[in-house]
């Protein structure tokens, strides 16, 4: 945060701001599904606003959300940056008399590029040690995932979350069954056959039919070679071997080329701006799988001609994005119902990212294609 002068010419004390932050943390209900689902790929957008709504201070995430540099944002009025029909609400929300308690409300930002963005504002008054109100601490959240659904989602019964959870568990169980079937049917059968072939060869040697035995052993070697290939394939399904052999960036690069070859018509551009040692080992497989599923989705559904994959550092986070220029999808299928009617790809990616403390978001439109973003704190 930039140190700034609040109205009245006094400086806010750090302790006053952290105290407001603590109160705000307690007031925001983290078990609320909408808040959990709303993820901001840039990190938490924070600002301090003067009574009336003028920006006194902002972090880089807030500046990015509004499309300004920090320096340019300071001094601007939030009221001027929201849709006309929201101006009264925002100006009332930040009036000097609205200083009593924590409050969350929604508004539509009029973006600089003419793009409107739904945001949620969480506002906490900052008081000095004598309890005198001086400014507002504000967190801006961008409901990337649930845009139209957010209000409905608030009223959804608890049972739906249980169903979603059960669905994920079923997904995991299905995956285990698939691996087990592959081991049983693929490897198990192959090894049984090899055993029979070797036994048969032994018998022939005992009977003196050495030439026959040699022929049989030669086919056995071929069969073993195939089986090694199958083992590789299964291991690769479980954990991409390229990752261990080459590291994350080359493995992703190779995946991009593979997708390009397989699709025949999509160009994949990979931009990697992190060093191997900046990425925690425990996250690499997740990053690879998210990129893989997102790109497979593009090939399967998007009718795109280009995919841009990027891996970069944003403050202390690592951000992975997969952007296509395809047809998008109107309805964002991130509910249990949708997941059971289509694949588990999207929901599986979200689950994978969030289970390791990351956040996942999805933006899709007919005009701009689909953007899958995953961020992990490092
Ligand atoms: N990049 C994309 N472009 C267009 N549609 C997509 C894209 N990614 C996902 N979808 C849509 O979301 C649905 C769900 O995706 P997913 O959960 O991966 O399941 P599946 O790929 O098995 O259908 C897809 O069926 C498709 O309609
Ligand atoms: Mg899929």
**Binning pLDDT at 50, 70 and 90, where does residue 207 land?**
very high
The CATH number for 132's domain is 3.30.450.20
End-to-end CA distance of the chain: 21
Query: Using CA atoms in the order 297, 303, 306, 308, what is the torsion angle rounded to 10 degrees?
Result: -30
Q: Is 369 in the pocket of ligand 1 (CB under 6 A)?
A: no
Q: Are 309 and 269 in contact (CB under 8 A)?
A: yes
SS3 (DSSP) at 21: helix
pLDDT of 163 strictly over 70: no
pLDDT at 213 over 80: yes
Domain assignment present for 9:
no
pLDDT of residue 327: 93
352-to-155, 243, 283, 360 alpha-carbon distances in Å: 26, 17, 10, 9
Residues 146, 203 share a domain: no
Burial per residue of 264-280, b for 16 or more beta-carbon CB atoms within 10 angstroms, e otherwise? eebebebeeebeeeebe
Give the DSSP letter of residue 54: B
Whether residue 185 is found in the same domain as residue 58: no
- Centre of ligand 2 to C-alpha 115, Å, is 28
Rounded mean pLDDT of the chain?
79
Same domain (yes/no): 176, 253: no
Which one of 151, 186, 217 terminates a domain? 151
- Whole-number Å distance between alpha carbons of 327 and 325: 7
Is 333 close to ligand 1, i.e. is its CB under 6 Å away?
yes
- Give, using CA atoms, the residue closest to atom 26 of ligand 1: 301
Q: Does residue 93 lie in a domain region?
A: yes
Strand pairing of 306-314 and 267-272? parallel
In order, the DSSP letters of 138-156 are EEEE---S-GGGHHHHHT-
What single DSSP character describes residue 279? S
Distance 282 CA to ligand 2 centre (A): 23
- 55 contacts 47 by C-beta, under 8 angstroms: yes
To test ligand 1's pocket by mutation, which of 329, 331, 335, 363 has the most ligand atoms within 8 angstroms of CB?
A: 329
Proportion of the chain above pLDDT 70, given as a percent: 75
**143 plus 272 within the same structural domain:** no
The domain boundary residue, chosen from 238, 256, 284: 238
The tokens for 93 are 């929300």
> Do residues 220 and 201 lie in contact, with contact meaning Cβ atoms separated by under 8 Å?
yes
Q: Whose CA is nearest to atom 23 of ligand 1?
A: 343
From the alpha carbon of 300, which atom of ligand 1 is closest? 21
Distance 297 CA to ligand 1 centre (A): 5
Regarding whether 200 and 108 lie in a shared domain, the answer is no
> In this structure, which residue's CA is closest to atom 25 in ligand 1?
342
Residue after which a domain boundary falls, among 209, 238, 267: 238
Contact 362, 371 (CB under 8 A): yes
Looking up tokens 């690769």 gives: 236
Please tell me which residue, 363 or 187, carries the higher pLDDT value: 363
84 and 210 fall within a common domain: no
Number of domains in the chain: 3
Pair 189, 91 in one domain: no
pLDDT at 204: 95
pLDDT at 351: 81
| The pLDDT value given to residue 175 | 66
The rounded Å distance from CA 343 to ligand 2 centre is 6
Question: Which atom of ligand 1 sits closest to the CA of residue 296?
Answer: 21
Going from the Cα of 132 to the center of ligand 2, the distance in angstroms, rounded, reads: 54
pLDDT at 337: 47
Ligand 2 center–CA 232 separation, angstroms: 23
**Residue 327 DSSP SS3:** coil
My answer on whether 106 and 128 are in the same domain is yes
SS3 call for 112: coil
Task: Choose the residue to mutate in 298, 345, 371 for probing ligand 1, maximizing ligand atoms within 8 Å of C-beta.
Answer: 345
CATH of residue 247's domain is: 3.30.565.10
pLDDT at 23: 75
Structure-block tokens of residue 201: 């060869």
Decide: 167 in ligand 1 pocket, CB within 6 A: no
3-state class (DSSP) for residue 376? strand
- Selection from 99-108, 273-282, 344-353 with the highest mean pLDDT: 273-282
Q: Is the CB of 302 under 6 A from ligand 1?
A: yes
Residues 23 and 96 in one domain: yes
135 and 195 fall within a common domain: no
Structural domain includes residue 6: no
Pair 142, 246 in one domain: no
Number of residues written out for the chain: 378
Kindly report the protein residue whose alpha carbon is nearest to atom 8 of ligand 1.
297
More confident of the two residues 318 and 157 = 318
Question: What confidence category does residue 378 fall into, taking pLDDT thresholds of 50, 70 and 90?
Answer: confident
Ligand 1 centre and the CA of 9: distance in Å?
A: 54
Q: Could you give the 3-state DSSP secondary structure of residue 211?
A: helix
Question: 237 pLDDT exceeds 80?
Answer: no
User: 177 and 295, same structural domain?
Assistant: no
If pLDDT is split at 50, 70 and 90, which confidence band does 158 have?
Answer: low
Residue 2 lies in a domain: no
| Lookup: tokens for 334 | 């991130």
DSSP-derived 3-state class of residue 250: helix
> Which one is predicted more confidently, 66 or 78?
78
Please indicate, yes or no, if residue 5 is contained in any of the structural domains. no
Which pLDDT band, with edges at 50, 70 and 90, does 201 fall under?
very high
- Rounded Cα distance between 157 and 160, Å, is 6
Give the C-alpha separation, 231 to 257, whole Å. 23
Domain that includes residue 179, residue range: 158-238
Closest ligand 1 atom to residue 304 Cα is 3
Question: At residue 183, does pLDDT exceed 80?
Answer: no
186 C-alpha to center of ligand 2: Å? 24
């Amino acid at each position: 945060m930039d140190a700034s002068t609040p109205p009245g010419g006094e400086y806010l004390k750090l302790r006053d701001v952290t105290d407001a932050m603590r109160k705000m943390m307690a007031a925001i209900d983290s078990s609320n599904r909408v808040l959990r689902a709303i993820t901001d790929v840039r990190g938490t957008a924070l600002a301090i606003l003067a009574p009336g709504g003028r920006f006194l201070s902002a972090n880089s995430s807030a500046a990015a959300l509004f499309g300004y540099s920090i320096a340019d944002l300071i001094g601007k009025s939030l009221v001027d940056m929201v849709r006309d029909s929201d101006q009264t609400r925002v100006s009332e929300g930040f009036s000097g008399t609205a200083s009593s308690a924590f409050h969350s409300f929604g508004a539509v930002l009029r973006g600089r590029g003419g793009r409107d963005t739904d945001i949620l504002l969480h506002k906490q008054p900052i008081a000095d040690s004598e309890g005198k109100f001086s400014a507002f601490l504000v967190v801006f959240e961008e409901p990337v995932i649930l845009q139209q659904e957010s209000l409905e989602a608030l009223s959804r019964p608890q049972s739906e979350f249980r169903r979603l959870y059960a669905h994920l568990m079923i997904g995991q169980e299905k995956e285990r069954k698939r691996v087990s079937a592959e081991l049983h049917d693929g490897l198990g059968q192959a090894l049984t056959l090899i055993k029979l072939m070797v036994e048969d060869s032994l018998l022939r040697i005992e009977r003196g039919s050495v030439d026959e035995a040699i022929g049989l052993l030669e086919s056995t070697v071929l069969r073993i070679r195939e089986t090694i290939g199958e083992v590789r394939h299964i291991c690769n399904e479980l954990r991409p071997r390229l990752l261990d052999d080459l590291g994350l960036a080359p493995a992703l690069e190779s995946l991009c080329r593979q997708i390009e070859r397989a699709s025949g018509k999509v160009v994949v551009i990979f931009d990697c701006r992190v060093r191997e040692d900046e990425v925690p080992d425990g996250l690499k497989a997740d990053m690879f799988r998210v990129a893989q599923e997102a790109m497979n989705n593009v090939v399967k559904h998007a009718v795109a001609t280009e995919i841009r994959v990027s891996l970069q550092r944003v403050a202390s986070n690592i951000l992975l994005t997969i952007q296509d220029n395809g047809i998008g999808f109107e309805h964002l299928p991130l509910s249990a119902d949708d997941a059971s009617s289509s694949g588990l790809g999207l929901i599986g990616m979200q689950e994978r990212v969030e289970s390791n403390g990351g956040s996942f978001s999805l933006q899709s439109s007919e005009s701009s294609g689909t953007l899958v973003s995953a961020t992990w704190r490092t």
